[in-house]
Chain A
Amino acid sequence: MADALMGERLAESLAENLARERRSARPWLFWGAMALLAAALFAARIVLHLSDPAFAAPPMQDIGRVILTHGLFPRAAVALVSGAALGLAGLLLQRVLRNPLAEPSTLGIAAGAQLAMAAATIAAPGLMAISREGVALAGGLGAAALILTLTWRRGLEPVSVVLAGMMTALTATAASTALILANGDYMFSLFIWGGGSLTQQDWGATTAIATRLVIVTAAAALLLRPLAILGLDDAASRSLGLAVDTMRLMVIALAVWLASTVTAQVGVIGFVGLAAPTLAHLGGARTLRARMVAAPLIGAILLWLTDGCIQLTAGSNGERIPTGAATALLGGPLLLWLLPRIRMAEWPSLHAALAAGARSERPWRLVAVIVVACLCMAAVGLVAGRGPDGWTIATGALFADLLTWRAPHMGIAAASGAMLAGAGMLLQRVTGNPLASPEILGVGTGAGVGLTAVLYLVDDPGIGIQFAASASGAVIVLVLMLAIAARSGFGPERLLLGGVAMGALCSAVLTAVIATGGVQALALLRWISGSVNMAAPEQALLAGLAALALLAPLPFMSRWLDILPLGAVTARALGVPVRRSHAALIALAGLLTATAALFVGPLSFIGLIAPHLARLIGLARPLPCMAGSVLIGAGLMMLSDWLSRMVAFPYQLPLGLFAALLGGPYLIWLLGRGRAGAGR
């Protein structure tokens, strides 16, 4: 058996074997050097401050000292304790959920905390004044409770947990963004800074986080043995006499407490919770005890180092980007580089399937029903609307005139929805991974980075250039991701980890640009929120034509799409040109995503949801599933467009954001329904 297992993994462990031989001594040296580097950066910062002539003269010496003792020192301290806290929280979550992707941000804990804080700031500022941390904890616990409730019946199966977590996180982020946008875009960059800047002015945050860190570390140390057993499967844990559920909930609560404290004190610091345990693992920390030491240490070093770099690049007018965004800039590439080298054999498989609906006997009849629903949706969207005097059904000449405004929205919505759904369907089939979608693989944000580049390089770029730029951004991200994943035959874990890393990396770039303000920032903000308000008929025509042209090849790929989900081995055995078919399908998915993202931004969940819905209503075969997904995508997006203009009339929510708000909760709810009765 072990022989066979080894054979299975030979291909993927090629590079990793090389690394392993030299593994024992290297990590210590490496992390020691990193810590030294961080310390050197800190020392440089201190020297810089001490030699600052502004604080040399007697009256200013005092304030100089206060900045040192209440600004610079606590900042280093808060970086260390936050990093350690996130590393520990990530490790605990990964352990108890037996899920290598679990961490405060992928589980929506940080986003939940931030949403609670944003809502409280706007709706109940008094509450925030009383206890910022309480609000954050409520949000974090709410997110965690939601995910656990939904996935409990599935035995906290990793794919479901991560999917529910990511949906919760993205939905909460979308909701926060909508709240901020609705309260004036001026607030936006401030809010980004509020989330993820380590600037300190006293020891309050350090003390708060450090206290929690000590308590949780102590608790975790006491729970070391049960935790080690929890890493096995439930049956084994139970047979060893462990109260699995109680244990698990306790540890999760501890981790949430730690993570939401960090969010409350310094905002969302992405990535450390995911990267630190992974890096500890890679660094050869085999036992749980070793990892409990290594993960917080690595987290602390990572964050300290990142913050040091941020302070180093700061000009006299302040820092360029918040540290929380920068951790992703540093950690993203690191994880991407490491991914092909990770040995995942010890990790439980994420292959477990998601619920599919009962297979439909007459799939094409279902597709026809969807077509009718889409047409109805289009009719409602074009005819019905609100005016200053309430609801109106537009007729006659006013209708003809309003049509010139409504039709472009609807057209762009339908085309983008169809393209995103098509891309999602392709990616899910190519990778055989139910979580793959343009949004989750970072392809949409990759398009954003391409767009950013062109906004900076070209003054007032036309739509053609913008399209070319965002398409190249998306395709580069996609190719990079799949190149990484292909080394392990598209293992879902690696693909997802890479996607999370890539998405975080790209959004960090976007966040950084938006935080600087300026014209490009406004343009990007508009793009990210996915507003189709300015849609002109020509754009709608362009979107429609692009959708037709890019979706047309899909039917001819249905045989590939039938076989590829069975994996590269089976595909190769059946004579499918694996590389060539992957390349073609992926390029197509990238183009579809980039085109759609250009119009509706990177946020919507349509690419993930539409293929899922198609499967849930029983469209299993590639052709009907393809048609169903594309139509569902178009219909959902039209529905979102119409609702986004109606719910807060005359205020309009951006389409992309609204689609995310609509789709996220729905998918989360679907996840919770389980297999029984799904689909009908």
Chain B
Amino acid sequence: MTSRIDSADVSTVPLYELEGVGFSAGSRTILPGLTLSIAPARIHGLVGPNGSGKSTLIRMLARQLDPTGGRLCFMGQDIRSWNPGDFARSVAYMPQFTPPAEGMTVTELVALGRFPWHGALGRFTARDRLKVDEALADTGLAGFRDRLVDRLSGGERQRVWLAMMLAQDTRCLLLDEPTSALDVAHQAEMLSLVRRLSRSRGLGAVVVLHDINMAAAICDDILALRDGALMARGAPEAIMKSAVLEELYGLRMGIFPHPGTGRPIAYVE
């Protein structure tokens, strides 16, 4: 399989292209058909009210769920034709609920991120070790190496999972509500970490976020979903408008500038 694209193409080929991608469960349609594309090396926020299909969409992007209609391409190639190993070397995914990983140390869990590279039987090489060390350093976990994951706080654990994704050494990160279990301080810390890493490593990212203000703060591009359809899309400034948010959430929303940075902040009226 020669699915890997030359580095020259990376900046131009979109990560994902969706043409009428739909998903339905039984007689219920979750996504009627989405057409959009996702650019590399940018942070995309998926926002929308409950039931809008954000989670379903990101699960399809992660190949955890097969679309029931339309065409979904990753790196210019039908997502279903990627073999599991190649795909895992290109896309890292963090589900909304991460398993407890009982009895594993931080290093061990992060090292699992190297699985797509060494496979079931291959040796764990010096390069693998280097990637793990880098991931630990980048997420500020160097001092946590031998700690047990199930004894860590929620914020620390989330960082370990992020480190595992980094060790996977992919060009794309998919995060499904990475902040849902965290308090405000850790939410901000986690998201700024994602933004910093995405910038420094040139990674494309798709992040499902509940808090529109958080999304506006870290994303380059916001995709607003409602009832399984793309209602609005654009830079944070384009989305953070009363009219757009009102339509998105069905609520009267106001906007005021952040007193320090001047960034728009949404609030419920």
- Interface on A for B, CB 8 Å cutoff? 1-4, 6-8, 10-11, 13-15, 17-18, 21, 351, 353, 356, 359, 432, 556-557, 559-560, 562-563, 565-567, 569-570, 572-577, 581, 615, 620-621
Contacts and interface: CB of A to CB of B under 8 A. Distances in A.
A10 B25 CA distance: 7
A577 B28 CA distance: 29
A621 B88 contact: no
Chain B CB within 10 A, most for which of A1, A10, A11: A10
Given A21-B27, A359-B103, A573 B93 contact: yes
A14 B55 contact: no
Interface in B86-110: 86-89, 91-105, 108
Nearest to B54: A3
A360 to B, nearest CB: 11
Nearest to A581: B120
A179 B13 CA distance: 74
B102 A4 contact: no
Contacts of B54: 3-4, 7
A2 B113 contact: no
Contacts of B86: 575
Contacts of A563: 112, 115
A559 B117 CA distance: 12
A566 B150 CA distance: 12
Given A3-B50, A13-B25, A353-B150, A575 B116 contact: yes
Contacts of A560: 120
B26 interface: yes
Interface in B68-91: 84-89, 91
B99 A7 contact: no
A13 B97 CA distance: 18
A1 B51 contact: no
A362 B95 CA distance: 33
Interface of B: 23, 25-28, 30, 48-56, 59, 62-65, 84-89, 91-105, 108, 112-113, 115-116, 119-121, 148, 150, 168, 176-177, 180, 208, 210
Contact of B180 (A4, A6, A581): A4
Contacts of B26: 13-15, 17-18
Chain B CB within 10 A, most for which of A356, A560, A573, A574: A573
Nearest to A14: B25
B51 to A, nearest CB: 5
A8 B63 contact: no
Contacts of B176: 4
Given A556-B120, A620-B104, 18 more contacts: A1-B50, A2-B50, A3-B49, A3-B51, A4-B55, A4-B176, A17-B27, A353-B100, A356-B103, A359-B103, A562-B112, A566-B101, A572-B84, A574-B115, A574-B116, A574-B168, A575-B86, A575-B116
A7 B57 CA distance: 9
Given A14-B26, A17-B26, A17-B27, A8 B84 contact: no
A6 B51 contact: yes
B96 A8 contact: yes
A577 B108 CA distance: 20
Contact of B56 (A10, A17, A559, A581): A10
A212 B176 CA distance: 52
B50 A8 contact: no
17 contacts: A2-B50, A3-B51, A3-B53, A4-B55, A4-B180, A10-B25, A17-B25, A17-B28, A18-B26, A559-B120, A565-B99, A567-B99, A573-B95, A574-B113, A574-B116, A576-B84, A576-B115
Contact of A575 (B27, B49, B85, B121): B85
B113 A4 contact: no
Contact of A557 (B96, B97, B105, B120): B120
A11 B55 CA distance: 12
Nearest to A625: B103
Contacts of B120: 556-557, 559-560, 576, 581
Contacts of A10: 23, 25, 30, 56, 65
Contacts of B53: 3, 7
Nearest to B118: A559
A8 B97 contact: yes
A569 B93 CA distance: 9
Contacts of A4: 50, 54-55, 96, 176-177, 180, 208
Contacts of B28: 17
B143 to A, nearest CB: 18
Contact of B59 (A7, A575, A577): A7
A566 B25 CA distance: 26
B76 to A, nearest CB: 20
Chain A CB within 10 A, most for which of B49, B89, B96, B102: B102
Nearest to B85: A575
Contacts of B62: 572-573
Contacts of A566: 99, 101, 112
B139 to A, nearest CB: 17
Contacts of A581: 120
Contacts of B102: 353, 356, 565
A6 B59 CA distance: 12
Contacts of B64: 569, 572-573
A556 B27 contact: no
A352 to B, nearest CB: 9
Q: What 4 pairs between A and B have smallest CB-CB spacing?
A: A575-B88, A7-B55, A620-B103, A17-B26
Given A21-B27, A621-B108, A615 B52 contact: no
A620 B149 CA distance: 13
B113 to A, nearest CB: 7
A575 B84 contact: yes
Contacts of B94: 573
Contacts of A2: 50-51
A10 B176 CA distance: 15
Nearest to A577: B84
A556 B55 contact: no
A349 to B, nearest CB: 10
Chain A CB within 10 A, most for which of B25, B27, B86, B89: B25
